[in-house]
A and B are shown apart, each in its own frame.
Chain A
Amino acid sequence: MNFNEPTIDYAGIAPLIALTVGLCLVLLSAVFKPFKRSAPVMTTTTLFISAGLLIERWGEPETLITGALRLDDLAIAISLIAILTAVFCVLFSIRERATEEAGSGEYHALLLGSVLGMVMLTQATNLVTFFVALEILSIPLYILCATNLRREGSLESGLKYLIVGSIGSATLLYGMAFLYGGTGSTNFTGIADGIARNGLDGDPLILIGIAMATVGLAFKVSIAPFHQWTPDVYQGAPTPITAFMAVATKAAAFAVFVRFFDVALGSQLDIWQPALAALAAISIVVGNVGAIGQDSLKRLMGWSGVAQAGYMLGGVVVVSEAGTSSLVFYLSAYAFMNLAAFAVIVARERETVFGDDIRAIRGLAAERPLLAWPLTISMLALAGLPATAGFIGKLYLIEALVEGDYTWLGVMIAIGTMISLAYYLRVVAAMWMRPEGGVAPGATPVIAGASPEADPVDSDAGRRWYLVGPAILAAAATVFFGVIPQPLVEFASHAGAALFG
């Protein structure tokens, strides 16, 4: 057996290199006093550089490192979503307690590490890079969840995420082993060829592999019934990290989800398509029902994320260009909607004594209209009301589903959306409408596990540019792409064409 030295296109992996170098520099900056305060700036710069390097490759798909990675428009699109989210996360982290407790340099280096994993994951076309990237993504997040050192909830969240995440990874790895055992290849295309060559159509080996890989991935994107960790971890983690996890992790995991299933397992469509459709439906119902009555906004966003993952899984179920495009569109819209909401949650968490409880936003429309409008737009968009990107996203998804003969899943999305109104509008009502019956007098604040240090950290947080700015920006993007969706549709359809073009 000859060993062929792989030809490495350094320009192609430049974004990854940039992130790695940035990561090291940020980590080192913590050691040298003059640079102590520069971690956020350095992180942002790194993110922008790698985003630029990625955009430069737009429209020129290329296979890197002998088929281990593939830098195509799908990978770039999802990476950009992850990087954008990370930039927002850096802004949200300014003056965040967790950043100070864990050390700014370490915190930001971990964040960059996770982004590195994500960018790699979106490009992964090989089981090995797939798994390695997933771990690079996850391990920093386990730590980041627990960075709020003095809060029990944060530590609990980190530990819980570590355990559940490891189980997910292990399951996935086990599934991969089966697939490799059956097909003798770790490459996605190699697996597809192997299934055909070895006559493994519907073979138990492949079935077990698919099932376990599905479960492992479902853990990562929080699809029900593998979602139980989501509300707890979301609530316990520092809010900027919650925002990052909610959007970026989901985006990156969906990228590999769709690539893995469509490229490697495309021939086994009949087996996994109904199963994924069922998972999507379960997720829609469980997520939406679970979110009803949640008083913690972060938990609410967690449950809503479960439901939204169910919607997006629809884009994976119909193996088509339209499906993948709609998935990318929805992920982009989802990023804007969620980031707007989290910006407001972060601001109110620091400003009021209520933490992330829904009481923190009561009367917000009168008190802080500049925060109330973004959160309102975000909630309406998540509920899929028109003139927001959320509506177009649902339209796109349902159109793809109906075209792919999954009309019933489209109806499920509509039903799920109806249920979701009950909790999204409750948030809106809290901001705009008179409180119902007022707060029970004398009752000790029962903020189900929310931040126990219930003193306002920064009573002016609702006016800080780094919170109000992102909130308005994300909300404006949500409305803009709801009214003029064409640019984002084109962006998404380029990405979708990468797998099928």
Chain B
Amino acid sequence: MSSALLWAPLAFGLLGLFLPRRAAGPWAVLGTLATLGIAIAVVAGFDSGNSGLQHVVDEPWISGLGVDYSLGVDGLNLFLLLLTAVLWVGGVAFAALREQERPKTFYFLMLVAETATLGAFLAQDLLLFVLFFDLMLVPFYFLFGAWGYDRSGEGGLTASRATMKMIIYTLIGSLLMLVAAITTAIIAADGGEITFSIAELAQQGIGESSQRWIFWFFAAAFLVKMPAFLLHGWLPDAYRAAPLPVLLVFSGVLAKVGAYGFLRVVLPVFPDATVEFQEVVLLIALASILYGSVMAFTQTNVRLIAGYSSVAQLGFITAGIFALRADGADGAILQMVNHGLVVAPIFIIVALLLERTGSEDIREMGGLALRAPVLAAMFLIVALATLALPGSANFIGEFYILNGLFQEKIVFAFVAITGVAMSAYYALRLYQQTMHNRQPSERDQGLLSREISLRDGLVLAPLVLCILALALYPQLILERTAPTVEQTVAKVKRGDAPDAQLAER
């Protein structure tokens, strides 16, 4: 099952290369739908009481080097897999409704990206994880660079330069992570048989002094990916360059891989360092929340508003994880899914706005609600979810995170709360400026309907429905993630007493 989920997109992508150009889009949609079907089956068949791995695949891959082809599903990755599958359907379907240059290559790369992302979530072998983590970047490099927007006319960078910047930022993190992963395995093996299995590495444990520097090699990779404050330099240019359907999946899913990496790898394998550096990471997270929020309500480009709001949201998620409490981490996972589900529709709406107004600047938009009421209504739902209105799943997610943070570090929690207030401001500003706030200088006269087309609606509506469904029943996620999360966090807590742990070995 895990293998089928992992390879389905790639298989469709490869077959798609042999189809005629016009069939490439629909075929890719079919591929993502099939993947979604498998993902739903995995969720449906998930045993929610079980904290361990399910649908396990474990085969030696490179036996000489101790690398296994090892996949599994548990509470940590279950819904992130589903989120990936859902958003890729959205992104690919939205792209398929429009003309694409070199469509065969475009959809092939999209599907490769899906396999790589699913692989990063599914991998239970540290090296396999690093491999997929790096691999994710390759298709996006091409998608951003070759299909992206040239912003050199607007004082920005060309697509290829913006992409290069992103690649260098993210690969700096992940290459160091490769060395760190290898070192971890070798230290843990202690002269014995080398294994990269995350579970076994967590069990064997490594010395505290090594943990210290290895922790930062991993943290750097994950924090760049999110991105966190100070490591976000690639974000504005990359977001402006990216084609919107690609940005949808990129922003919706890839940022979460970083946060997920903390839960999957860092907490279990480096518990001592996690406790030691808890406050440092929390500070970075808070800085991300504040910086992201402030930037989000000063920007006028719709993409950047969404981009910086992601920085803030990922800050929240990181804070939830590094509360090192079960409720915080539960909230973080819920919030990862929530954020993916709200940011994806925002980018679809941005694309629609761009088509309707010819601009991505909120100062040049406005007054669309009258002429596109359905679109506006859907946008309102998304905006309200973004600001975590009570009743939305985002509210519950943020509540859990803050609750965890309060119990652990009350000062940090107070600062984080200001982030909640600011998110209300930028979400409402975004909605208001684009949908209401009719401008005096109407560029196009005549009250033409600018309503969302039925076909685009079919892409957007399901995503909005997901938000609504999750608002009504967040337990769907919480009750399945809780057992694994508790186990993961409990391991770190045991790490509070490193001496005891060392004695155990």
Q: Which chain A residues have a beta carbon within 8 Å of chain B's beta carbons?
A: 325, 365-366, 369, 380, 384-387, 391-392, 394-396, 398-399, 402-403, 407, 410-411, 413-415, 417-418, 421-422, 425-426, 428-429, 432-434, 436-437, 485-486, 489-490, 493
Bound together, the chains give a CA A135 to CA B159 distance in angstroms of 50
What residue of chain A has the Cβ atom nearest to residue B146's Cβ? A432
Question: Is B172 in the interface zone, CB < 8 Å from A?
Answer: yes
Hey, which chain B residues are within 8 Å of A385, CB to CB? 134-135, 137-138
Name 10 interchain pairs, CB-CB below 8 A, sorted by A.
A365-B102, A387-B131, A395-B127, A398-B182, A402-B182, A421-B167, A425-B141, A425-B164, A429-B160, A436-B158
Query: Is the Cβ of A392 less than 8 Å from the Cβ of B186?
Result: no
> A411 contacts B176, CB within 8 Å?
yes
Instruction: From A365, A417, A485, give the contact of B62 (CB < 8 A).
Output: A485
Nearest residue, chain A, Cβ from B168:
A421
Taking CB as reference atom, which chain A residue is nearest B172?
A418
Partner of A402 from the list B134, B159, B167, B186 (CB cut-off 8 Å) is B186
B150–A394 CB distance below 8 A: no
Select which of A366, A386, A398, A432 is within 8 A of B179 by beta carbon. A398
B161 located at the interface, meaning its Cβ lies under 8 Å from any Cβ of chain A in the complex: yes
A158 to chain B, nearest CB (A): 37
B63 is an interface residue with CB less than 8 A from chain A: yes
A410 and B179 in contact, given A433-B146, A434-B150 (Cβ under 8 angstroms): yes
Of residues 315 through 340 on chain B, the ones whose CB sits less than 8 Å from some CB of chain A are: none
Name the contact of B159 in the complex, choosing from A386, A403, A411, A434 (C-beta under 8 A): A434
CB-CB under 8 A for A407 and B161, given A380-B138, A386-B135 = no
* B134:A399 contact, CB within 8 angstroms: no
A428-B144 Cα distance, complex, nearest whole Å: 13
Cβ-defined contact, B65 with A399, below 8 A:
yes
Q: Does B342 contact A (CB under 8 A)?
A: no
Q: Which of A325, A380, A403, A426 has the most chain B CB within a 10 Å cutoff?
A: A403
B168 touching A417, Cβ below 8 Å: no
Nearest Cβ in chain B — how far from A240, in angstroms? 30
Is A436 in contact with B161, judged by CB distance below 8 angstroms? yes
Q: In the complex, what residue of chain A is closest to B136 when comparing beta carbons? A: A386
User: Which residues of B are found within 8 Å of A407, using beta-carbon distances?
Assistant: 179, 183
Closest to A484 in B: B61
What B residues does A384 contact at CB under 8 A?
A: 175
Residue contact A395 to B182, C-beta cutoff 8 Å: yes
Q: Using an 8 Å CB-CB cutoff, how does the interface string of B148-178 with A read, 1 for contact, 0 for none? A: 0010100000111101100110011001101
Residue of B with least CB distance to A431: B146
- In contact, B141 and A417 (Cβ under 8 angstroms): no
Whether B178 contacts A414 by the Cβ 8 Å rule is yes
Q: Does any Cβ of A come within 8 Å of B142's Cβ?
A: yes
* B positions within 8 Å CB-CB of A: 61-65, 67, 102, 105, 127, 130-132, 134-135, 137-138, 141-142, 145-146, 150, 152, 158-161, 163-164, 167-168, 171-172, 175-176, 178-179, 182-183, 186, 194
Which one, A425, A433, A493, contacts B167 given CB within 8 A? A425
How far apart are A130's CB and chain B's nearest CB, in angstroms? 30
Q: Known: A380-B138, A395-B127. Contact between A486 and B63, CB under 8 A?
A: yes
Rounded to whole angstroms, the CA-CA distance of A428 and B64 in the bound complex is: 32
Q: Which residues of B contact A395 (CB under 8 A)?
A: 65, 67, 127, 178, 182
- CB-CB < 8 A to A422: which residues of B? 164, 168
Query: Are the CB atoms of B146 and A418 closer together than 8 Å?
Result: no
A493–B127 Cα distance when bound, in Å, is 20
Alpha-carbon gap, A234 to B163, bound state (A): 30
A253–chain B nearest beta-carbon distance, Å: 25
Most buried by B among A365, A395, A485, A486: A395
**How close is B334's CB to chain A, nearest CB, in angstroms?**
30
Q: Which B-chain residue is minimally distant from A403 (CB atoms)?
A: B186
The residue from A387, A396, A425 contacting B65, defined by CB atoms under 8 A apart? A396
Tell whether, in the assembled complex, residue A436 and residue B135 are in contact, meaning their CB atoms are under 8 Å apart.
no
A433 x B134 contact (CB < 8 A): no
Which 3 A/B pairs are nearest by Cβ-Cβ distance? Answer: A433-B160, A414-B175, A386-B135
How far is it, in angstroms, between the C-alpha of A391 and the C-alpha of B178 when the chains are bound?
10
> Are B164's CB and A489's CB within 8 A?
no
- Rounded to whole angstroms, the CA-CA distance of A490 and B62 in the bound complex is 9
Q: How far is the CB of A394 from chain B (nearest CB, A)?
A: 7
- Report the bound CA distance from A386 to B102 in whole Å: 24
Give the distance in Å from the alpha carbon of A333 to the alpha carbon of B131 in the complex.
17
Residue of A387, A414, A421, A490 near B64 (CB, 8 A) is A490
Chain A neighbourhood of B183, CB < 8 A:
402, 407, 410
Partner of B145, one of A396, A433, A489: A433
What residues of chain A lie closer than 8 Å to B61, measured between beta carbons? 485-486
B132 to chain A, nearest CB (A): 7
- In the assembled complex, which residues on chain A have CB atoms less than 8 Å from the CB atom of B178? 394-395, 398, 414
| Chain B residue at minimum C-beta to C-beta distance from A415 | B175
CB distance from B140 to the nearest CB of A (A): 12
- A365/B146 contact (C-beta < 8 A), A402-B183, A425-B141, A433-B160 known: yes
Q: A398-B179, A402-B182, A429-B164 are in contact. List 20 more A-B contacts (CB 8 A).
A: A325-B64, A365-B102, A386-B135, A391-B134, A395-B65, A395-B67, A395-B127, A402-B183, A402-B186, A411-B176, A414-B178, A418-B171, A421-B171, A426-B164, A428-B141, A429-B160, A429-B163, A433-B160, A486-B64, A489-B64
Question: Taking CB as reference atom, which chain B residue is nearest A385?
Answer: B138
Contacts of B65 in A (CB 8 A): 395-396, 399, 489
B62, B63, B131, B163: which contacts A386 (Cβ < 8 A)? B131
**Contact in complex: B168, A399 (CB < 8 Å):** no
Query: When chains A and B are docked, how far (Å) is the Cα of A422 from the Cα of B164?
Result: 8
CB neighbours (8 Å) of A386 from chain B are 130-132, 134-135, 138
Shortest CB distance A243–B (Å): 25
Minimal beta-carbon separation of A177 from chain B (angstroms): 40
Q: How far is the CA of A392 from the CA of B63 in the complex (A)?
A: 12
Once the chains are docked, how many angstroms separate the CA of A455 from the CA of B359?
A: 46
Residues in B with CB closer than 8 Å to A486 are: 61-64
Question: Which one of B62, B105, B130, B158 has the highest number of Cβ atoms from chain A below 10 Å of its Cβ?
Answer: B62
Is A399 a contact partner of B158 (Cβ separation < 8 A)? no
B189 → chain A, closest Cβ, in Å? 9
Q: Does A414 lie within 8 Å of B146, measured CB to CB?
A: no
Task: Tell me which residues across on chain A come within 8 A of B135, comparing CB atoms.
Answer: 385-387
A499 to B105, CA, bound (A): 46
CB pair A392–B62 under 8 Å, yes or no, is yes
Minimum Cβ distance to chain A for residue B200 (Å)? 17
Chain B residues within 8 Å of A365, by CB: 102, 105, 146
User: Nearest Cβ in chain A — how far from B254, in angstroms?
Assistant: 15
Q: Chain B residues with Cβ under 8 A from A394's Cβ?
A: 178
Q: Which residues of B contact A428 (CB under 8 A)?
A: 141
Does A391 lie within 8 Å of B146, measured CB to CB?
no
